[in-house]
A and B are shown apart, each in its own frame.
Chain A
Amino acid sequence: MRAFRIFVQKEFFHIMRDRWTTLILLVLPILMIILFGFGITTEIRNTKFAVYEPSGDHTTRAIVNKLESSEYFILERYIKSEDEIEQLFRQGKTGFAVVFGKEQILLVADGTDPNTASILTNYATTLINSYLQESAPTATDAASRAITPEIRLLYNPTLKSAYNIVPGIMGMILMLICALMTSVSIAREKELGTMEVLLVSPMKPYLIILSKIVPYFTISVINYITILLLSVFVLKVPIAGSLVLLSGVSLLFIIVSLLIGIMISSLVDKQIVALLISGMLLMMPAVFLSGLMFPIESMPQVLQWFSHILPVKWFIIAVRNVMIKGLGFSSIIREVLILTGMGIAILIVSVKKFKYRLE
């Protein structure tokens, strides 16, 4: 046990003596939260819009007011005919128009950027519908000017992208620290030849590996807490569900990621290879396929299948369910089972592939 303690201490020395490593490990989560939370955002603000209202009654004015008072839209001007919309869009200053017909309201968006267009129509639809419901309690009145399709944005009523980003960043950071750092640190011992000396000793090899895990486990837990604090207090994303459940799932994911790190390191001998494998084979797909940046549903079928084998995908789903939607354990049983299964499978592979010698 004394030996184990001293080896854990040694591992902490390795991390702390390298100032850049320490800095990256502790500052990266903060940086990513701020970058993704504020910089890279899928929210759209202050879009100029035009209005065409041949009838011009009390309701239309109120709706325009409602749109204008939101942070998403700024009224450019009223136009005299529908044909002007195209001109305005071509000038590029205006990206959205509202046309009040006799029976319905037509929302026109600039489709050159389909993502923005769909987000804008979603915003506007939500705003108009909420106005109609407020002002016209009777069903017949509301129906007279219904906008179809009606879209309700659950859990993220204002389409805040931070809601989407926090679970994703959590998955990425934990994966990065656990899988990448662990695999690189074990590969370093092999590359520098120190593993050779460690093996020719009575110390059990699994203890050597275990002692390498402890520091990264600790750092992951610290990062997990940092991310939670930042998302609650800086990004204002509340923890809707149980904190215990959220932490439980996160611990499970940390363990699975550490096991992946060990598995990678048992397959390679060079730091750079470990880095590339964890970076290219784990991180990149994690970013693209886990639903962090693009919705999985909009990806080609083949890639969707591929995303199933990524632990981070299931972790993100579980975090969304617990943290954002506030659902209970029953909602994430599938994710927990899948992660556990993956963990066991990786453990078996790592144990089988573990080398007591150099070959």
Chain B
Amino acid sequence: MGELNFKAVNVKSLAKNFGKVKQGGGGSGGGVAALGGLSFEVDRGEIFGVIGPDGAGKTTLFRILTTLLLPDSGEARVMGFDTVKDYREIRKIAGYMPGRFSLYQDLTVEENLKIFATLFNTTIEENYHLIRDIYEHLEPFKKRRAGALSGGMKQKLALSCALIHKPEVLFLDEPTTGIDPVSRKELWEMLRRLKKQGITIIVSTPYMDEASLCDRIALMQDGKFLRCDTPSAIIASFGKNLFSVKGDKMGAMLEGLRRVEGVSSCFAFGNSHHITAEKDNGTKSSLTVTSLKAHLESAGFTDVEVTEAEPTVEDCFMELLSK
């Protein structure tokens, strides 16, 4: 178990290559993306978010941490155990919920839960307190076959199954992908409660808006971490002015904005465009709300609405990507 104050997860220059590298292979769809030398730590009792688009390598990372794949080089430790040498120990203390629904669709909710409790030599009764909050929602359907549940219900059942043995570390691979916003919110509330019980949670998601719900996040792209810090620290380091622009011809405007002097990047953000500009240091090219609006109106755009915006994790991610 290494030193006494080991981290929940400790990864050193972890790399993994598959025979043929698949570009944007879709993490949850079973496609495999490579990892290019990751190093990070996760503290015990932390919610650590791995955020990145499909094909960034999230699933590959999770599979290495859960001992399902072997790294090509580097090492990974979970609760002090090596994922290669001590895989048996990790399999006892880890809870794993894969990206796609991996329960038995032809068995009932209750049977599924019983099987996973049995798998870890425990019973539903023994650890019921852990899953009560989640399982309450499922209790009325416990005789229903898992395949007949809604997406949100399936995820709750999968989470219950991953929790039933009171794991020390919980690995959730895109638990909120493909489920409705209400269920998403509920699921995150559950994760906060589990954190209070002392369970370390490592969760991946393609949704940037979920970043602020994590204690620390890693922004992942092409098998590498672009940044790894608390969400507020990442936002604080944004270091540029950010404007939100709306208008009538959004498509054409994106092009128009890129030609404006002083705009360093411009991308679609929901139903508006986000523009970043170098911090105001008194030079002519510095942009302000008024100068930006004037630029656009002189270029023939109407209904232009420009506001200063607070940077979000997504802005930081786009900024990091553009470098």
Contact = CB atoms under 8 A, between A and B. Distances in A.
A13 B102 CA distance: 17
Given A196-B98, A357-B69, A202 B106 contact: no
Contact of A3 (B102, B104, B119, B161): B119
A194 B147 CA distance: 13
A121 to B, nearest CB: 57
B94 A200 contact: yes
B317 interface: no
A199 B68 contact: yes
Interface in A269-285: none
B100 interface: yes
Contacts of B30: 193
B35 interface: no
B40 interface: no
Contacts of A196: 63, 68, 96, 98, 102
B100 A17 contact: no
A353 interface: no
Interface in A8-53: 10, 13-14, 17-18
A199 B83 CA distance: 13
A225 interface: no
B69 A358 contact: yes
B96 A202 contact: no
A203 interface: yes
Contact of A358 (B68, B100, B102, B107): B68
Majority SS at the chain A contact face: helix
Contact of B115 (A10, A192, A357): A10
Contacts of B114: 6
Report, as a range, how many residues of chain A touch the other chain: 20 to 34
B120 interface: yes
A2 B114 CA distance: 12
Contacts of B98: 193, 196-197
Interface string B89-133: 001101011101111111100010011101111000000000000
B104 A197 contact: no
A356 interface: yes
Contacts of A358: 63, 68-69
B26 to A, nearest CB: 14
B102 A194 contact: yes
Contacts of A203: 119-120
Given A13-B107, A193-B100, A2 B67 contact: no
Nearest to B158: A197
Interface of B: 30, 63, 66-70, 87-88, 91-92, 94, 96-98, 100-107, 111, 114-116, 118-121, 145, 161-162, 165
14 contacts: A3-B118, A6-B115, A10-B115, A17-B145, A18-B106, A194-B104, A196-B68, A196-B96, A197-B103, A197-B116, A200-B91, A202-B91, A357-B68, A358-B63
Closest 10 CB pairs of A and B: A193-B102, A200-B96, A201-B119, A358-B68, A17-B106, A6-B118, A202-B92, A3-B118, A200-B66, A197-B102
